[in-house]
Structure 1
Amino acid sequence: MFTAGRSCIHTYYDRYKANDYFRVRYFGTGIYNDIRRRLLKYYVSDIKDGLTYRTIPSTIYIFFTNLLPAIAFAQDMFDHTNNSYGVNEVLLASAMGGIVFGVLSGSPLCIVGVTGPVSIFNYTVYEIIEPMNIPYFQFMCWICLWSMGFHFILAFTNSVNFMRFVTKFSCDVFGFFINIVYIQKGIQILTHQFELADPASAFASIVVALVMTIFGVSSQFFGSKSHYLPPRIRTFIRDYSVPLCVVFFTGFIHFGGYLDDIKFTTLPITKSFHPTDTVNRRPDWFIRFWEDIRVRDVFLAVPFAILLTALFYYDHNISSLICQSSKFPLKKPSSFHYDFFLLGVTTGVAGLIGIPAPNGLIPQAPLHTHSLCVYEHDYETGLNKITRVVEQRLSNTFQGLLTLVMMTRPFLVVLGLIPQAILAGLFWIMAITTLDDTDVVRRLRFLFLDKEWKLKLSKIIIPADYPIEYYLVRSKYFIIYLILELLAFAGEYSITCTKGAIGFPGVLMLILLLVPIVFPRIFPKDQLDLLDSEAADELIMRSLKLSSFNFD
């Protein structure tokens, strides 16, 4: 049976020699080639290509979609860690991620910042060690320092090459999971209003969030999928609808009338460029990791660091894969080993200055690539087609700089005026506009599609909403695959709702490892080829293969 299983796995990845996945021939080859082939060769063009109008709306859009959700996660950590983290820590982490990866990374399309899983990790660590009287910031610093070392080992041994194992199944399930978490987060923010304010204010917050969501989602739909008004006007609406929704509904609560009697809960702010916790740490940001920490606690941080490294290995690389997926016509090579090394550096620095460690963001990373797409309207099919992507590093860098500017007092005060209901609305806009494009939702829609309409669509050469593979695969295997996607999502989601949330990276890695082993035993090869495939396209595959095995 073992031999048969290996044979199935080999045929599942028949485009490559199986033993290539397990060879580490040259130490540091991946980093060397990523720098030589991607960073040095295209750095100048990354700047020149960014000197275009498309960069402006992309910068503004991703700034809002990165900033406000991060602040919401800051509120989570603030509440669960006895005020250890706040707005300033999250702003500094997001700014560092944007600037460092915008300026220095090999994949500048990948947005790096504070994620929901990281916030869960941080406050779960606090809940575990607080009864043990271990100083939190020193312990988190050691976790980040150990993790930095593990990042370096994985990067220099070319271990990121194992991302060639990742199929679209893992990416689609994780993307679906993140969007559901965003919807859940919006609901949590609004339910929390009943504890922070009176019922009238809480219900008013729900109404504002819902109306904002309706306008935001409708504007994105109008700009991307409608046929009304000229393409330039639709493009403008698509580019600026989300930022304008945030600005408009922030001012909406001050319009007067019945709203004068409502007190909306706003974002909490602190002193500019100062840590939130002034009791357990010094105001100079540097964590004295050698103070008040026992040797055994230093080594106790190792298993936590392994979990953090596993989370970043999965989360960051999946984010990078999704924002460089085959649906985007990208021309420049990718960079994984060097970027993971760079992520290790930012993780270590984050620990030393006592801020959450940033990593790749979903859905912000693919939304960033979407915002850089140049569309052309095909009047024969009535569809908007992506003709090219503005591949550059300026939008990521500028949004990081704008986030850093938000730490100054005037802009912190502005942040303090934003109602928490606006955060809920933004979470829902981001989730809903992205959720409908996930494979899980599309398969669910296709499953319940009217049979007669499905038969009619199958006769169309280019189906408008569904890949041609959906029509070719047998219904039995289509349903089994969809059930497995939902079960994988349930596993990821359920553990985050328990005290064992810190084991979340283990669930991700388990799914990643089981897919190439289990799927060939369940699905015939011809059906599996229709259902699932490598997440990395040919361009990324060539980069991973080249970066691991030779210098040519």
Structure 2
Amino acid sequence: MSPVITFGGLLGEATEGRISAIESLFGASMTGIAYSLCSGQPLTILGSTGPVLVFEKILFKFCKDYGLSYLSLRACIGLWTATLCLVLVATDASSLVCYITRFTEEAFASLICIIFIYEALEKLIHLGETYPINMNNNLDKLTQYSCECVKPPDPSNATLRYWNERNISVSEVDWQGLDVKECIENRGEFVGSACGPHGPYIPDVLFWSVVLFFSTVAMSAFLKDFKTSRYFPTKVRSIISDFAVFITILSMVLIDYALGIPSPKLQVPHVFKPTRDDRGWLVNPVGPNPWWTTIVTVIPALLCTILIFMDQQITAVIINRKEHKLKKGCGYHLDLLVVGVMLGVCSVMGLPWFVAATVLSISHVNSLKLESECSAPGEQPKFLGIREQRFTGLMIFLLMGCSVFMTSVLKFIPMPVLYGVFLYMGASSLRGIQFFDRLKLFGMPAKHQPDFIYLRHVPLRKAHLFTIVQLSCLVLLWVIKTSRAAIVFPMMVLALVFIRKLLDFFFTKRELSWLDDLMPESKKKKLEDAEQEEEQSILAEEEGTVQVPLEGHYKDDPSTVNISDEMSKTSFGNVWKSLNTDSSKKDQSSKRFMLLRIQFYNSSILEVAVVCLLNIVVQHVNNVFKVVSSPFPNLLEADSLKHVQEQGKRKKEGRSGERLGPRDESVMFPSSLCFLIK
């Protein structure tokens, strides 16, 4: 309910109260109940989304600039959009979701996050215009401050027309006796040293709004991460994390009410009725607009259909991923059918449009996960699937429908708190977007880069090129959204699919499979690590060796220590050199001499000493029995040749560098000693 109220409050400000929080709650309840009962994938949760909010703001500004009725024109667009959605369902257009890849999904999701952050900060800054700071304070003249309402000395034509329409007799109005609200309604002016542009200066309101705004963001983030805290049992931590936003809003409302500072509040009616008195629950599609608007609205309806289709199907693709192990069908066509029908109903009733909300849907799916019971201490539970049912979604929207009768409570919610929730939703959603992870790689040295799975298989320059293309599309989306051509904004969203297809000419299929795969980063990394472990176990079985699993990071130091060089540095150096020189003169063939290679890690001095003594003994044995080995040169040559061939074969198969653990001491004896032992 928190996001619905937040979007409703922002939509109310954007449309001057024509569609606000009470309409959002009623519309969400009605649409959600129908979707939960009739859709093909009831795990998806409907809600207001950033792109739809942008489209509503663009449409309202267009109607205001050209003097058209917003609700009537919106009803025509909604009916055309519903019709076009039915056409998409009938023509099997939902099969086009196969072209929606990570490139399109992340660019779209990034735009939504940026819209959330930008809108929240913009609303907070605008509070400074309504509740300005008095920059000319003089503490010695506080008793002389005054602000009163007076008749405009030079009223404009719009003000005169306003007085005539409402039969306001200017001469009979007691201007100085009017309060702030009455003065604004009668188009009076404020005069005095304590007056701002929109009325008297109100102390502490702007400062308190800023405190509420950032406190909401900080508290929401803290409670959301409380699941990983060390305090309280696991169940309690999970509940606090799941209801982080609700707990934050409730806490801020209580603090604001206790202090009593007149911060701006959510505008809701005292009873169940539309927010504005000049509208009802049914909207005439023509109304005061010209008759031909019912025909030409098919053009913006086409753009709105693209937006609804992309928003709905991108979320549906995320929910229907294989990693969720869903057993029942997807139902893309049926979902779009229900959304289209309810969109037409909401348009006629003057309610907001609702489509699949990505963040809410993912949270809903995560809350329905099935995991195995842990039998051993410390054993991680295994993911078994999702509880696929309709009951939870149905109850969510039934309870939301009951909340429309709680308007006496909703009016205490400060607007800065809703702005803070909006900022938190945008900032927290950036955390799981791979696009922003790749953006951070531009300023990061290679040795400090995280172990992303795509960096194992794709050159860094290609990853940067892919990121630059995606960033260019995002910037272009934002420029169009803020320009006078903002009405064609949905067309650019659709163009993302075609831009992604053009990348096939600049990247190989293998590179795109790692950069543009819908599978999450963590999932792909687990699969690859599992494959590597399986390959290592197969190699170990073939070689008859035992693989010792190691935890933590360790350095592989395969350096070979030459005992001759090391011994020459000790006090036995002269004896060692004489033995080594004498033996080398007797036989020039290196294959007949002892080759002792020790790969040691943290070996003790005693171990090295024992190996050195063993080497001296072997040297003498080799010299004494050289006569024995000479009658059988062919046999010894064959034995050495076989050993070399085996070593070459192992190197060719890539097994020569395998490690069995942090310590792997091995001694290689000469073929002559092997023959003697035989």
Q: How far did residue 382 of structure 1 move?
A: 10
Structure 2 residue aligned with 1:472: 457
Structure 2 residue aligned with 1:368: 364
Structure 1 residue aligned with 2:269: 270
| Contact 1:374–1:390, Cα closer than 8 Å, also in 2 | yes
For 2:324 and 2:440, how far apart are their aligned partners in 1?
23
Residue type of the partner of 1:530? W
| Contact 2:76–2:286, Cα closer than 8 Å, also in 1 | no
For 2:70 and 2:122, how far apart are their aligned partners in 1?
26
Establish whether residue 301 from structure 1 lines up as the match of residue 297 from structure 2. Answer: yes
Instruction: Note the residue ranges of structure 2 that are not aligned, 5 or more in a row.
Output: 134-203, 521-678
Aligned alpha-carbon RMSD (Å): 2.8
Corresponding residue SS for 2:324: coil
Q: How far did residue 326 of structure 1 move?
A: 4.5
Of 379, 394, 399, the match for 2:396: 399
Structure 1 residue aligned with 2:250: 247
Higher helix share: 1
Establish whether residue 498 from structure 1 lines up as the match of residue 483 from structure 2. Answer: yes
Structure 2 residue aligned with 1:323: 319
Structure 2 residue aligned with 1:430: 425
Deviations 1:221-275 (A, max 9, x none): 231x4566653343233222222111112112234xxx44x32111111253322
Residue type of the partner of 1:488? C
Of 497, 503, 506, the match for 1:522: 506
Structure 2 residue aligned with 1:23: none
Q: How far did residue 506 of structure 1 move?
A: 0.6
Residue type of the partner of 1:213? V
For 1:175 and 1:513, how far apart are their aligned partners in 2?
17
Structure 1 residue aligned with 2:37: 103
Deviations 1:26-62 (A, max 9, x none): xxxxxxxxxxxxxxxxxxxxxxxxxxxxxxxxxxxxx
Structure 1 residue aligned with 2:73: 139
Q: How far did residue 188 of structure 1 move?
A: 2.2
Deviations 1:259-318 (A, max 9, x none): 44x321111112533223433x4x3x1223355454422111110111111110111111
For 2:128 and 2:488, how far apart are their aligned partners in 1?
31
| Contact 1:111–1:360, Cα closer than 8 Å, also in 2 | yes
Of 487, 495, 518, the match for 1:510: 495
Structure 1 residue aligned with 2:672: none
Deviations 1:432-489 (A, max 9, x none): 33211111222234555554354xx65xxxxxxx4x2232211011111111222222
Of 298-307 and 522-531, the range deviating more from structure 2: 522-531
Residue type of the partner of 1:270? P
Larger radius of gyration: 2
Structure 2 residue aligned with 1:549: none
Deviations 1:310-358 (A, max 9, x none): 1101111112223334553433321111111111101111121122222
Of 327-336 and 265-274, the range deviating more from structure 2: 327-336
For 1:136 and 1:85, how far apart are their aligned partners in 2?
10
For 1:246 and 1:143, how far apart are their aligned partners in 2?
35
Structure 1 residue aligned with 2:414: 419
Q: How far did residue 131 of structure 1 move?
A: 4.8
Corresponding residue SS for 1:253: helix
Structure 1 residue aligned with 2:340: 344
Structure 2 residue aligned with 1:452: 447
Deviations 1:117-149 (A, max 9, x none): 223323322332445444333322221111111
For 1:236 and 1:139, how far apart are their aligned partners in 2?
44
| Contact 1:205–1:421, Cα closer than 8 Å, also in 2 | yes
For 2:504 and 2:12, how far apart are their aligned partners in 1?
44
The percentage of counterpart residues that share the same residue type is 23
| Contact 1:216–1:242, Cα closer than 8 Å, also in 2 | yes
- Within a 5 Å distance, the mapping from 1:185-200 to structure 2 comes to 185-199=119-133, 200=204
Structure 2 residue aligned with 1:58: none
Q: How far did residue 413 of structure 1 move?
A: 1.6
Q: How far did residue 156 of structure 1 move?
A: 0.8
TM-score of the aligned structures, taking structure 1 as reference length = 0.74
Residue type of the partner of 1:158? D
Structure 2 residue aligned with 1:27: none
Q: In 2 relative to 1, CA 228–377 (structure 1 residues): closer, same or farther, beyond 3 Å? A: farther
Q: In 2 relative to 1, CA 263–131 (structure 1 residues): closer, same or farther, beyond 3 Å? A: closer
Instruction: Note the residue ranges of structure 1 that are not aligned, 5 or more in a row.
Output: 1-62, 459-465, 537-552
Structure 1 residue aligned with 2:8: 71
Of 384-393 and 361-370, the range deviating more from structure 2: 384-393
**Count of aligned pairs:** 449
Of 310-319 and 237-246, the range deviating more from structure 2: 237-246
Question: Which fold has the larger relative contact order, with Cα–Cα distance below 8 Å and residues 6 or more apart in sequence?
Answer: 1
Q: In 2 relative to 1, CA 368–189 (structure 1 residues): closer, same or farther, beyond 3 Å? A: farther
